[in-house]
Amino acid sequence: MSAVSPKIAHKRPVIRQLDEAAINRIAAGEVVERPASAVKELVENALDAGARRIDVAYADGGKTLIRVTDDGCGMAPGDLPLALSRHATSKIDGTDLLDIHTFGFRGEALPSLGAVGSLTITSRAEGHEAARLRVDGGRMGEVSPAALGKGTIVELRGLFQATPARLKFLRSDRAEARAIGDVVRRLAMAEPGVGFTLRDVSGGGEGRVLFRAEPESGDMFDALSGRLKRILGREFAENALRIDASREGFRLTGFAALPTYSRGAAVAQYLFVNGRPVKDKQLTGALRAAYFDFLSRDRHPAAALFLTCDPHLVDVNVHPAKAELRFREPGLVRGLIISALRHALAEAGHRASTTVAAGVLGAMRPEARPGQQALTTAYQMQRPAHPTTPGFAETAQPSARFEPAPAPGEAAGQADERLPLGAARAQIHENYIIAQTETGMVIVDQHAAHERLVYERLKRQMAENGVAAQALLIPEIVELSPDDATRLLAIAEDLARLGLGIEPFGPGAIAVRETPAILGPVNAGALLADILDELADQGESLSLAARIEAVLSRMACHGSVRSGRRMNAEEMNALLREMEATPHSGQCNHGRPTYVELKLADIERLFGRR
């Protein structure tokens, strides 16, 4: 006997109109998920009001207090009740919902916050007296006079006090505070000309300043670089490449880090569309694809990218929190991101992250440094009284081979030292090349460097000649759903360029007639399943290209200079010159550095000379 459905009522349900308070609480559940969501809405309102300085304060992770103070245009006393009404906004007139030039436009944030907590707004517009209005659990008070010089102060106390069940789903105070900090920092990146302050006032009083960013000056890139240095750190700024590219109404600007400056998780990826911070799978997928050939799967690129376009080319009204969006031409946007980043990476040439050298120096530097007098005494005590120990020439089995340094008048050697990777001077442990530059020294991993060079050569050959396809004697028939088959056939031309030939074979079936010869025997069904999974997750597939690139990488590994092989001066210098001429040679096929550069000043400091 089947159970009775709980949705089947004995009486006909009555349709009723919900009251305004219930409507606002429902809207708040979509707009305000946690304290960080409230901070985001309030800070975006301040930015839309033209604020040049914004102060954000919170207590207990934002659960008991959120206060946002700005110096924007403010509101007149008569505007305050209207601002707390649903769908009342000064940002659009409703005639064109795609012509959005502001952060907010729905008019839902303030009434939603007032419905789930105690909201107080104090504001003053130019030419008007300051006024205050309070809303407690959806019940609006009277407008009253207040004291305020300029701008607006919005104070939210007891978030979700009107809906206590929501409080149970909030995380710890520390986790909520961390989310608030992330929101403020993302908005600070979007507006480098605006000053931001974030304070924790849990203990009362002025509290602790957790983040402060003064307004940046200069042109767009200078201001953005200064703000990113303040938020992401000096190391990111030193290892980031400037991005500036345009295509058919879209412009991509910002900074993207070198592959050797990567992360173990996608925590340093900041994407903005028309100044709005977004978390969009299409954009993150394009970013991943741009670095696809330079990082292993467990490493993630770091970037802060800003995409600008006519508002009619993108719909930001597809998600209550406005974090997701929809482009009219998603393929165009994806192509712009990939081509711009790859062009910047190619122009970087052999450049590697400065953090590599810093890590080496950190490992070499002793934990405790004695004073200069103690160092001098120690060096004198360690100096041998008589040269009784054998020199390099007398060592029976040398651990390194040294090339003679050029005489002062030898122009060729001096010219090599002026080149980025310098002139080869030694090979140690049959794997590392020591080169001298004008300002220091370079240590090169000969196998990793040559592996990248061979890999790039194989890729150029494949791009010029295409991927050879191996025709199957008997086509392999793969049964799929009609939708999956249609999705695969839609990219059949792209797959054919990679050596995978497919054709329709009746409803919901695909005939695989050719596979990439470089892959050898292929399980066609598993390969198509992987491609479909990526299409569903990212909107595009890299699995076939990844397999081909992996084979090329293995071929490069086996065809490159092996560890343990002795190289003469001409071979070592030829390797250095080819590295300088080959893009991406600063990292191996797995994203690890191929060389380390140490400045002479840093080396001298290691030995107490400075």
Are 232 and 193 in a shared domain?
no
| Residue 147 CB-density burial (10 A; 0-12 exposed, 13-18 middle, 19+ buried) | exposed
Within a domain: residue 449? yes
Alpha helices in 84-142 (DSSP H): 109-116
Q: How far is CA 74 from CA 47, 112, 125, 319, in A?
A: 11, 20, 4, 28
Instruction: Name residue 20's amino acid.
Output: E
Sign of the Cα torsion 289, 293, 295, 297 reads positive
Are 241 and 227 in a shared domain?
yes
Within a domain: residue 382? no
Range of the domain at 248: 220-347
Cβ neighbors of 286 (< 8 A, separation 6 or more) are 333, 334, 337, 338
Give the CATH number for residue 51.
3.30.565.10
In angstroms, rounded to a whole number, what is the distance separating the alpha carbons of residues 579 and 239?
19
Are 176 and 55 in a shared domain?
yes
Cβ neighbors of 381 (< 8 A, separation 6 or more) are none
In angstroms, rounded to a whole number, what is the distance separating the alpha carbons of residues 565 and 429?
9
| Residue 206 CB-density burial (10 A; 0-12 exposed, 13-18 middle, 19+ buried) | exposed
Q: Is residue 131 a contact partner of residue 82, using CB atoms and an 8 Å limit?
A: no
Tell which residue, 341, 395, 378, 422, has the closest CA to residue 599: 422
Residue with tokens 């893009």: 583
Instruction: Name residue 145's amino acid.
Output: P
Written as one string, the DSSP assignment of 388-435 is: -S--GGG-SS-SEEEPPPPPTT-HHHHHHHTSTT-EEEEEETTTEEEE
- Angle, in degrees to the nearest 10, between helices 220-232 and 173-190: 160
What is the chain's length? 610
Are 247 and 194 in a shared domain?
no
Tell which residue, 104, 607, 32, 593, has the closest CA to residue 354: 593
- pLDDT reported for residue 463: 77
Cβ neighbors of 90 (< 8 A, separation 6 or more) are none
- pLDDT reported for residue 389: 42
Instruction: Count the neighbouring beta carbons within 10 Å of the beta carbon of residue 538.
Output: 17
Domain boundary among 163, 178, 213: 213
Written as one string, the DSSP assignment of 535-548 is: HHHHSS--HHHHHH
Give the CATH number for residue 476.
3.30.1370.100
Q: What is the pTM of this model?
A: 0.71
Tell which residue, 515, 512, 520, has the closest CA to residue 498: 515
Q: Into how many domains does the chain fold?
A: 3
Tell which residue, 131, 99, 94, 109, has the closest CA to residue 47: 109
Instruction: Name residue 253's amino acid.
Output: T
Within a domain: residue 400? no
| Token pair recorded at residue 520 | 């050898």
Are 59 and 191 in a shared domain?
yes
Are 513 and 528 in a shared domain?
yes
In angstroms, rounded to a whole number, what is the distance separating the alpha carbons of residues 136 and 96?
33
Are 469 and 588 in a shared domain?
yes
Within a domain: residue 163? yes
- φ, ψ dihedrals at 161, nearest 5°: -65, -25
Instruction: Name residue 394's amino acid.
Output: E
Cβ neighbors of 468 (< 8 A, separation 6 or more) are 499, 516, 517, 518
Are 341 and 353 in a shared domain?
no
In angstroms, rounded to a whole number, what is the distance separating the alpha carbons of residues 79 and 82?
5
Cβ neighbors of 206 (< 8 A, separation 6 or more) are 199
Beta partners for residue 432, in sequence order = 428, 445
In angstroms, rounded to a whole number, what is the distance separating the alpha carbons of residues 522 and 533?
18
Within a domain: residue 402? no
In angstroms, rounded to a whole number, what is the distance separating the alpha carbons of residues 361 and 359?
5
Within a domain: residue 275? yes
- pLDDT reported for residue 533: 79
Within a domain: residue 555? yes
In angstroms, rounded to a whole number, what is the distance separating the alpha carbons of residues 553 and 459?
9
Are 36 and 81 in a shared domain?
yes
Q: Is residue 475 a contact partner of residue 490, using CB atoms and an 8 Å limit?
A: no
Estimate to the nearest angstrom the gap between the alpha carbon of 114 and the chain centroid.
35
In angstroms, rounded to a whole number, what is the distance separating the alpha carbons of residues 156 and 158?
7
Within a domain: residue 99? yes
Residue with tokens 């007149």: 76
Low-confidence stretches of the chain (pLDDT < 70) are: 1-10, 20-31, 86-107, 162, 317-323, 350-415, 537-544, 546-547, 550-551, 554-555, 558-560, 610
- pLDDT reported for residue 391: 42
| Residue 263 CB-density burial (10 A; 0-12 exposed, 13-18 middle, 19+ buried) | middle
SS3 of residue 192 by DSSP = coil
Are 245 and 180 in a shared domain?
no
Q: Is residue 234 a contact partner of residue 563, using CB atoms and an 8 Å limit?
A: no
Give the CATH number for residue 295.
3.30.230.10
Are 199 and 110 in a shared domain?
yes
Are 107 and 158 in a shared domain?
yes
| Token pair recorded at residue 113 | 């916050």
